Structure 1
Amino acid sequence: MDEADRVLSAARDLRSSRSIRLSVHSSLAMRWLLPRLPAAAASGLDLSIDVREELVDFVAGEADAGLRFGVGPYPGLHSTRLAGCMIQPVVGAAHPAARRPTVDPLKDETLTLLSDSGAEKFRTGTTWRDYRQLRGVPEVSDHSVRSFDRADLMLQAAIAGLGVGLGRSLLIEDDIGRGLLVPVGAAVRVKAAYWLVTKPDLAANSGIRSLEKWLKEQIRLTLGQRT
């Protein structure tokens, strides 16, 4: 009975703990989350970040929660929509297109488009093809395209001046604020959104609730940089 009491007490302590293993895709981790970890620690959150492209097994305990980007929701998991998403073409500050505020990257065939193959693989609706369809612009076959495995690599290539990257909310605001990236062309809203997912039995955990509140506040502050 004493051992059972200790186990139950440990389980209660775990459910109320603010220490969380958070799974995040690499692009979101590198371009947005990691620079904000000191703020998370200052707010009392103890986050352990697991960066990977593939999905984690929550049942097997590989992570306590995940920060995901997609149409959602996620069957079998407790899903909280954190924010919607816009996609916005961007170029590095030294790129010639940065000095042409009226340039439309879909219509200027002299521009090289930088693509993220992960958007194709995971069908997030954030490819150049999706962008054309949302804007109602016909396909142009003469555009030069360079492809990268991940969105963070594609955006770094844009900063380096290799072409026009198709950025999305949260991944570009910091670099725009620093003057490293410049928006060109129109921004459009997509169906995909940012979600916090966890097992249903962890949804009421005080740490998960605190993480959700903190993420929403950080997203609000980030998106407010461009307003």
Structure 2
Amino acid sequence: MSRYQIPVSKQPDPVVIQQFRGVDFSADSTQVDPSRSPDALNMIADQAFFPVKRTGYKRVAQGSGRVWGLHRLTNTKGEWVLAHIGTSLYRLDDSGVLTKLCDGMGAASSQSFVMGDCLYLLDGTTYRQFDGTTVRPVAEVAYTPTVRIGAPPAGGGTDFEAVNLLTPTRKESFQADGSSATFQLSTNGLDSRTVSATVAGAAKVEGTDFTVDRAAGKITFKIAPPKAVQNVDNVVITYRKTISDHRQ
């Protein structure tokens, strides 16, 4: 019966480096001379392949909590850096001082964009605007649409703009007939916030110039507004109606 002799495994030849000559970033790591290293702790190659120290970190501020985002606003008035730390938003000064702007931020990565000299922040919880001074929900400054125009006092008219999902505020525009004092809105169940109105451009005050039946969506003026001239709307009513899933 034939036998097979297993050869004795060859021991690797030792490599003795008499003099270490530094790092070689110019060649492939498999082709680097044994007296050099293809890598080194905290060292990288610059554009000319010379070794330089690896870029490190410098502490510019210290907060309590995880940093979820850093955001910058630059406009004609100045430049600001905002830090989203934990569930709060801070303004970061050049000296490293953190000044809290608001609480209630989401505990998740935040994003932002700049439009119209303002910074808009999205954190999955509240959509916010920063104008260089104040942080506030976009719902407070969102565009108020005119949802109905050319409406007679009894209601109706023409649909004009869609409801803005960011804000419960909306407007309706009427053409007064000179005798009707009650104006029917296109919806009912209004919010408790004050209703405002203008008649021929003049502001009218709830409780003084008119009353509101929120459940029915009716506005009743103490004095009937004058008749509209040349079919031009002369009564504008601004009110709020919150629909729970709109903002989400």
Which TM-score band applies after superposition, normalised by the shorter structure? under 0.3
Greater helix percent: which structure? Answer: 1
TM-score by length of 1: 0.25
Greater strand percent: which structure? Answer: 2
Question: Which of the pair has more CA radius of gyration?
Answer: 2
TM-score by length of 2: 0.23
